[in-house]
């Protein structure tokens, strides 16, 4: 019985924390039951909190419209789509990674890119996967060089 109450309390605390984070991020609390159900059903952050994980200081980038927590937690990803983002003249250079805009921090001569999705986020190294021009591998810079095989 005590374990059940503890679980219920954790769930209630998670929902309250989720609503506060939403509000601080400019998303007002849902004003109807239908809005609440929709927000709960689509919230990766709420699922994360209910699983006992902490929210990230900086929200994760998105991958094809969904929060990309695995990139942050694992420090890298393979098979990414990276494309130059054509922006207005004079703007900081950007690319899209899985349809999310990232800033180019540096373009070394070796063909890799140093990129980041938010000014407070860590830098990632983007490199072509096995020379494939369409697929890229991302590795958080502090984990570089990435271990190979075996």
| pLDDT tens for each residue of the chain, 150 residues long | 678 788 899 999 989 998 998 898 888 888 999 999 998 998 888 999 999 999 888 999 999 999 999 999 999 999 999 999 877 777 888 999 999 999 999 999 998 999 999 999 999 999 999 878 789 999 999 998 755 554
Query: Do the Cβ atoms of 104 and 91 come closer than 8 Å?
Result: no
Residues 6+ apart with CB under 8 A from 12: none
Could you tell me if residue 122 is inside a domain? Answer: yes
Number of domains in the chain: 2
- Whole-number pLDDT of residue 148: 58
Regarding whether 139 and 79 lie in a shared domain, the answer is yes
Could you tell me if residue 149 is inside a domain? Answer: no
Distance, CA of 99 to CA of 102 (rounded, Å):
9
- Whole-number pLDDT of residue 121: 96
Longest dimension (CA), the chain: 64
Regarding whether 46 and 96 lie in a shared domain, the answer is no
Distance, CA of 21 to CA of 49 (rounded, Å):
11
- Whole-number pLDDT of residue 2: 75
Query: Do the Cβ atoms of 104 and 89 come closer than 8 Å?
Result: no
**Which range of residues forms the domain containing residue 112?**
62-143
Distance of CA 104 to the CA centre of its chain: 17
- Of 50, 71, 90, the position where a domain reaches its end is 50
Regarding whether 139 and 66 lie in a shared domain, the answer is yes
CA-wise closest residue to 111 among 123, 86, 129, 92: 129
Regarding whether 66 and 97 lie in a shared domain, the answer is yes
């Amino acid at each position: 019985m005590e374990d059940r109450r503890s679980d219920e309390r954790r769930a209630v605390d998670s929902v309250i924390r989720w609503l506060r984070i939403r509000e601080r991020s400019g998303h007002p609390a849902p004003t109807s039951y239908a809005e609440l159900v929709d927000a709960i059903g689509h919230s990766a952050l709420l699922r994360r909190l209910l699983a006992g994980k902490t929210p990230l200081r900086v929200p994760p980038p998105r991958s094809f419209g969904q929060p990309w927590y695995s990139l942050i937690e694992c420090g890298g990803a393979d098979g990414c789509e990276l494309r130059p983002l054509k922006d207005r003249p004079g703007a900081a250079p950007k690319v899209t990674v899985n349809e999310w805009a990232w800033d180019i921090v540096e373009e070394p001569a070796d063909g890799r890119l140093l990129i980041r999705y938010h000014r407070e986020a860590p830098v990632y190294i983007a490199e072509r996967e096995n020379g494939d021009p369409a697929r890229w591998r991302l590795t958080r810079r502090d984990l570089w060089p990435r271990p190979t095989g075996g």
